[in-house]
Amino acid sequence: MSLLPKLTFTATAPETPKDVSNETKPPRDKKIGPLTIHFGGMGKRKSGADDDLSASQENVTKAASPPTPKPRAKIALPKSLIHAASAKPNHPPELEDPKAALKKAAAAAVRRGVEEAAKLASSAPKRETMTPPVTPKIPNPKPIPEASPKAEAPRAPDRPPPSVAAPKQPALANPVQKTNALPLRAETAKMPSPDQADVTKQVRRAELVATYASRLGVTSMVSDIVESFADAQGEDVSVEALARGLEACGLSAEVTVLASLTPKAWPALAKMTSGHVILVLSQKGDVITVFDRSTPDQTAEVPVYEFAPFFSGTVVRANKSLASLTKSYAPAAITEHWFWGQFGAFRRQIGEIALGSLVANLLAVAVALFSLQVYDRVIPHKSESTLWVLALGAVLAVGLEAVIKLARSRLMDGAGRQIEIRVQSMLMERLLGMRSDARPTSPSGLFSAMREFSSVREFFTASTIGTVADIPFIFLFFALVATIAGPVVWVLVFGAFIMVVPGYFFQKKMMRLTVESQGASAKASRLLHEAVFELDTIKTQRGEERVRRIWDELNVLGAAKSSEQRKLAGFLTFWSQGIQQITYLSAVVLGTYLVFAGEFTVGTIIATGILTSRTLAPLTQLSGTMARWSNVKTALAGLDAIALAPQDANEDRTFLRRKTIKGDFALRELQFRYDDEGAPTLDIAALDIKAGQKIAVLGANGSGKSSMLKVLAGLYAPAQGRLLLDGAEMSQIDPRDIRRNVGYLGQDVRLFAGSLRDNLNLGGLERDDDRLLKALDFSGLGPFVRGHHRGLDLEIRDGGEGLSVGQRQSIGWARLWLQDPRVCLLDEPTASLDQSLETGLVARLGVWLEGRTALIATHRMPIVGLTDRTMVLKDGRLVVDGPRDQVLAHLSKSNDGPG
C-alpha cells in the first residue's frame, strides 16, 4: 500500500478565446481562474493526527462554483509541501473576503507545487513509476458558496464560524453505496512492515472503541479490546470485530445500517466508504459533531452534506448492557441456577410449546367424538351425508394435530439446541476462569462430567419434553371422560395412580444405580487416559497386568450397574403398559354393565375406550422419562464442580485496572494450603520485594518454592494474610492485567496438539512470524526450527510427545519472551537444558531482565549469578534472606547448599 501523499489540487478555468493549446505549461505568475480544491479531511485538522481517531476520517470535497469549468491540470504535491500547506498559523488569520482568500491560497499552493515538483524531478534518482492518486468522483457534489478554507486554517476561538448555506439534510437512498475517498492524511514516517501496520491499525481502532466506551461512562483498557480483535486478519478490523471490542468493555453492541441521518442515530462508530471508521458524537440540525483529538475540546463539526457522500451507512452502536445496569442500580437478585436459569431467556418459545400442546390435545378428542357420533347417530339413522361430514372433520383435526406437533417438535429442538450451546459455552468459560487452586485433583472427573452432559441433551429432546408437556392435559381428558361416561372416570384415575406410584418409590434406587454406573465409567476413563499418556512408564515398570485387571474390574462393575438400571427401567415401562391395558379393559367392562342398565350407549363405550388410551399414554412414557431424569440429575450434580467453582474474576466485583505493573510485592502473615484441613504449604510472616530486583529462591524439594511463585503469579489465592502488589491488594487488581504484566514459567511446560506456531501464539495476538523466530532464537530453539523442513508448521502432538523435555522448556521461554512481562516468575527455568543452551540463555537473560522484576526458583548456580538477592525457604517458611554473595557464603559455611 502506498503511503505517498494524496492531497490533490485540481485547477480549472472558464473557457476563454485565448489559445490554450499549450495548457500544460501555464505562466507561473499568471492568475488562475476559479479552483476546485479537494481537501483530505473534514472540519479542523492538525498535521499528523491519527487516522481513525480524528474528525478528518474521510475526505470532503469543497468546491467553488465556476461557470462551466474546463480542466487544466492536476498536480500531486510532495509531502513537504502538504505539511506546509496544512500547518496552522501562529496567529489568528486576518479578516478578508473568503472567496478572495480561497483563490489566493490555491494559486500560491499550485505555484509552489510546480516549482517543487520541477526541483524534485531534476534531482531525484530514477525509480519505479508509481500510479498517481485518483481524485474521487462524487456524483453531483453540491458546491459550497463563498466557502473559506476551514479545513486548512483554524478560526480564532472567539471568532464566530462563517455562515455556510447548507442544503436540506439528505436521506441515504443507498446506504451502502461505495465512493472512493481520498486518504486521511499524508504519512511522513517510514513505511512500516505489513505486520506492524496491522498491529498499529488494530491499536488505533481499539483506542477509538475505548473512547466510545468512555463517552458511555465505561472505563476500559485498550489492551483488552486489542485482544478481542484476535480473529481480525490484517487491517480488516471489521465492524463485527468493533462490536466484539465494545462487548469486551461490558457493553451491548449491534451493527446496523442507517437509512437516513437523524440525531437519534448517534453516538455511534460510523464506517466510511474508504473503510475508515470515525466516532460520531451527535447531530444537531444539519451539523454533525465528530470526535477529533487534534482539537482542544476533541470535537469537530462537519456539515451533513459534506459527511453524507462519504458515509457507507453502516454503524456500530453500543449501550450499557442490562447486566451492567442491574449490577449498578438494582438490588442483589436471587441467583439463578446455572442450568435452569437458561430457560428464562426462552419464555416465548416455552409459551408457544405450551399453547401448541393445548391445541394438539384438544384436537386429539376429535377421533373419540367422531366414534361417539357415528355409533349413536349416524348408524341408527343411516345418514351417509352426516358420516362424510364427520369423517372430513375428523381427518382435518388429525392432520392439524400432526402439523401442530411437528411445529412443536421443531420449536423444542431449536430451543434445546440454543440452550445446549449456551450451557456448553458457559461451562467452558467457567472452566477457563476457574481458580487453579480450586481445580479438582482428578481432572478425569471433569472429563466424565462434561461427557455425561450428553444425557442432559438427550433428555431435552422432542419426545421427552413432548411427554412432559402432555402430562398436565391428563386432567382435561379426565374431565371429558367424566362428562361422557360419568363414573367410568374413576377407573382411569385409579389406573393412573397405580402406574405412577412404583416409579416414585424406585427413584432412589434408580439414582443410586446411576451414580454407581457413572462413577465406574469416570474411573475407567481416567485409567484409559493414564494408560495412553503413560504407556512407556507402564511398560518399563511391568504394570500391564495390573492396569488390565483394574480395567476389567471397572468394566464389570459398570456393566452390572448399567444392567440393573436398564432392568429397573424396563420393569417400570412394562408395568405402565400393563396397567394401561388393564385400565382399558376395566373401563369397557364397567361401560358394558352401564349399557345393560340403559345408562350408556355403544358409542359411549367406544369413545371412552379411545379416551382411556389417549389419557394414559403420557403416563406410560413417564416411567422411562423418570429413568432418564435420574441420569440428568447425576450429570448436573457432577457439572456443579465446574459451574460453581471459585473464579479468578467474580462478576459482582469491579476490579482495579492497571496498564502496567511494576512488581512491588508485600507479603504479610501469608499462608497457603492445598487442603483446607491440612498444614500450610507456605507460611511467610513478612516479605518485601522491590520493583526491578532479581531474586533467587533456593530450598530443598518440597520447601514451597513453586507454591510461592504461583501465589505471586495470582494462580493460587492465599488462605489467609495479605498480598500487596504495587501497593494494592492483589485480589483487587483485574486478573487480565496480572496475566498481561506478570509472566510465569513453570517447571513442566505443557504443549497442545497443533503446530509450533499455534503453541507459541496461544492468545492469537502475534501476527509476525519474524517475532516468533526471534523468540525461538532467544530460547535457543531457533537453529532447530530454522533447519527443520516444516519450520513453524512443525506438528506438535498431545502433550508435546516427540519433543524432548529441554525443547519443551525452550518453547516455554519463547512464550515468555513474546509475552514481554514486567514481572518474571521462573520455576526451575533451566533444569532441563543442556549446558550449552543454559550458558547461552543465561547470557541473553542478563540483558533481557534489565528493568524487570524477577524471582527465580532454581537449583542451578549459573542462573543464580543473574540475581542480586537470595532467599532460602524451608518447610514453607523463609529462613534466610539477604544479598546473594552473603547468603551463598553463609550456605557454604553451614554445608547446607541450595540443592
Q: Dump pLDDT digits (tens) for 422-449.
A: 888 888 888 888 888 777 666 666 777 7
Please give the Cα distance from 634 to 522 (Å, whole number): 13
Distance separating alpha carbons of residues 633 and 640, to the nearest angstrom: 11
Closest CA to 740 of 814, 817, 821, 650: 821
Burial 813-846 (b: 16+ CB within 10 A, else e): bbbbbbbebbbbbbbbbbbbbeeebbeebbeebe
Nearest residue to 169 (alpha-carbon basis) of 264, 267, 261:
261
pLDDT tens sequence across 27-70:
343 333 333 333 344 444 433 334 443 333 333 333 334 444 44
Q: What residue ranges of the chain are covered by domains with CATH 3.90.70.10?
A: 8-320
Kindly state the average pLDDT of the residues 5-28: 39
List, for residues 400-421, the tens digit of each pLDDT value. Answer: 989 998 888 888 888 888 888 8
Of 349, 301, 372, 365, which is closest to residue 60 (Cα–Cα)?
Answer: 301
How many whole angstroms separate alpha carbon 819 and alpha carbon 766? 10
CATH architecture of the domain covering 665-893 = 3-Layer(aba) Sandwich (3.40)
CA distances from 692 to 489, 568, 662, 851, 869 (A): 86, 68, 8, 5, 11
Q: Is the pLDDT of residue 772 over 60?
A: yes
Candidate ranges 65-74, 520-529, 772-781, 890-899; pick with highest mean pLDDT: 772-781
- The string of pLDDT tens digits covering residues 529-558 is 888 888 888 998 888 999 999 999 999 998
Say whether pLDDT at 157 is over 70: no
The mean per-residue pLDDT over the stretch 320-346 comes to 67
Phi/psi zone of residue 182: left (φ > 0), alpha (ψ -120 to 50 degrees), beta?
beta
pLDDT of residue 723: 94
Residue 372 to residue 366: CA distance in whole angstroms: 10
Q: What distance in Å separates the CA atoms of residue 812 and residue 743, rounded to the nearest whole number? A: 11
Q: What is the DSSP string of 848-880?
A: HTTTSEEEEE-S-HHHHTT-SEEEEEETTEEEE
Q: Where in the chain is the domain with CATH 3.40.50.300?
A: 665-893
What residues contact residue 513 under an 8 Å CB cut-off, 6+ apart? 561, 564, 565, 568, 630
Q: What is the model's pTM?
A: 0.64
Residue 808 pLDDT more than 60?
yes
What confidence score (pLDDT) does residue 152 get? 36
Query: Where in the chain is CATH 1.20.1560.10?
Result: 350-643
First to last CA, the chain: 58
Residue 898 to residue 896: CA distance in whole angstroms: 7
Task: Output the CA torsion sign for 186, 189, 191, 196.
Answer: negative
d(CA 453, CA 419): 12
Q: What is the pLDDT of residues 677-731, one digit of tens each?
A: 778 899 999 999 999 999 999 998 889 999 999 999 999 989 899 999 999 999 8
Q: What does the block give as the cell for 735?
A: 486478573
**Taking the domain 350-643, which CATH number applies?**
1.20.1560.10
**Separation between Cα atoms, residue 375 and residue 612, nearest integer Å:** 18
Q: What is the pLDDT of residue 191?
A: 33
3-state secondary structure (DSSP) of residue 664: coil
CB neighbour class for 388 (10 Å; exposed up to 12, middle 13-18, buried from 19): exposed
Q: Residue 876 pLDDT more than 70?
A: yes
Cα pseudo-dihedral 748, 752, 758, 762, rounded to 10:
-60
Architecture of domain 8-320: Alpha-Beta Complex (3.90)
Question: Rounded to whole angstroms, how far apart are CA atoms 895 and 889?
Answer: 10
602-643 vs 474-485: helix crossing angle, rounded to 10:
170
What's the CA gap between 148 and 64, in Å, rounded? 10
Helix or strand (DSSP H, E) at 510:
helix 507-533
- C-alpha cell at position 769: 512470524
Q: State the virtual CA torsion across 205, 209, 214, 217 in degrees, nearest 10.
A: 180
Query: 695-733 in b/e burial notation, b at 16+ Cβ within 10 A?
Result: bbbbbbeebbbbbbbbbbbbbbbbbebebebbeeebbeb
pLDDT digits (tens, 9 = 90+) for 463-488: 677 777 888 888 888 988 888 888 99
